[in-house]
Amino acid sequence: MKKHVGRGGGSSRRDRATGSRVALSIHELAAGGAGVARTEQGEVVFVAGAAPGDVVEVDIDRAAHPARGKLLKILTAGPGRITPPCTFVETCGGCDWMHLSPSTQQDAHAELIRRAISRATAVDDLPPIHVHPALQPLGYRTRARLFAKAGRGGAPRAFKKPPPPPGKPPRVEVGYRASSSHLLASVDRCLVLHPALDPLLRELPTLLAGATGEGDVLIAAGQGGRPVVEILWSGDLPPTTWSMLDQRIAEGTWAGARVSLEGVSRPASFGDPRPVLQGADGAPLLLAAGGFGQPSEEGASVLAKRVADLAWLDLPARPMHVLELFAGSGTLSILLARGPSGADLASFVAVEHGAEAAACLRENLSARGLAGKVVVADADATPVPPRADVVILDPPRAGASGAAAAIAASSVRAVVYVSCNPATLARDLVPLLASGLVITHLEAVELFPQTSHIETIVRLARHRPSRAPALS
């Protein structure tokens, strides 16, 4: 079949329909991962699982806004489409871009960042966006959130399992959320999980057998690279679950576990349930149990090193006052607190709302002999001290509108903003740019390969640097 030449930004010359089936051309990817097409009438249609340049046959659902197209057939594959290596990709909602080549993913991430910032700020001369490729496109995740459910009723599975014998309770199923759904997509292996964690997908159903209800299961690497598991359960867990947890910790198979039952005020802990990654400085980095952490230690290291490079760029050769907001357990702090090479800091203050994360941050700094003040407070409502030279912030997906306003009202020389959401990042850049700060660097780190999720670094300064640092 001949490829349809696009019109109106990449749509097909005509919409060929048989009943509700329509052939469309995909011209770009939207935030959230879907392909974007236009009908002959100019109607925008989002198509999950599509790739730029695809010509696809879809069934359009106009009840959604914008309209959604269910992918029925790929008539012509775009140049960036590949065969996904995972057999669960059709049912699991975890890796929405596994059908795209790594270069296509990187180009799309850069374009989504550029588009979001340009639209919100009306800045036309943005600096080029440098993308740091993923060091390991597969097997990179050293932490993940799984979903577990007792009984049937989940999403269709790629492989059917026989029903349990009469009188025996159904085995708990474990996996991820299904694509565009809150249902369970049961999986027994995951290509993006680190090899040390992948066996948990087959071990957890046995551990939870006999439970009622459902819940999330957070898995990560802990002390010595051994797994740590956190169970957030709504329902009842059988005695066998508790005894098996005891056994795994006693044997040293797992480094730790923690169980939080709905309606119970305090979680039950076994061993040390805190994740431990290799920090950007090569030393162990302790994270709060159940708290925020980047999905891979390699990606987190690239991110932290780049943030530190940008933080010290083109600043006065005197001891500086540095403020870090939304510091977490210290992924960035362990480099920032050192200051630029060969120079001391006048002060380093890290602000973190979570008490457990702040405690880990203090421990991480202390273990390295680094000085700094850790403040437990709402980073989005923290005033910027008049003497602050540099502010670094890494807020959650909701962004940091309060912090952006405080920074805009300050006289800081430079800002390094790390974001996992281009939309809220772009929103927060508006007051920063209005205050006289200028975007000097835009970068993306491929922390979530195989997915549409984006990690962005933006550096702003009161003036443009005379020379950019070498990219690593």
Residue 86 bears catalytic tag: no
pLDDT at 361: 97
Residue 378 has pLDDT above 70, yes or no: yes
Could you give all domains of the chain from N- to C-terminal order, each with its CATH number?
Answer: 17-76 (2.40.50.140), 106-137+294-461 (3.40.50.150), 143-274 (2.40.50.1070)
Residue 153 has pLDDT above 50, yes or no: no
Q: Is 124 annotated as a binding residue?
A: no
The model's pTM is 0.89
Tokens of 260: 């939080």
* DSSP string covering 56-87: EEEEEETTSSSEEEEEEEEEE--TTB---S-T
Of 61-70, 114-123, 261-270, the range with the lowest mean pLDDT is 61-70
Q: Which amino acid is at 333?
A: S
Q: Is 348 annotated as a binding residue?
A: no
Query: Which one, of 64, 37, 67, 63, lies nearest residue 50 by Cα?
Result: 37
pLDDT range class, residue 93, cuts 50, 70, 90: confident
Query: Which one, of 213, 210, 214, lies nearest residue 169 by Cα?
Result: 210
Q: Are 384 and 322 in contact (CB under 8 A)?
A: no
Contacting residues for 455 by C-beta, under 8 A, at least 6 apart: 299, 303, 418, 419, 420, 444, 445, 446, 447, 448
pLDDT at 168: 63
DSSP label at residue 366 = H
pLDDT tens-digit profile of 3-61? 333 333 344 434 444 447 899 999 999 999 999 999 999 999 999 999 999 999 999 99
**Range list of H helices, 210-314:** 239-251, 297-311
Q: Is 106 annotated as a binding residue?
A: no
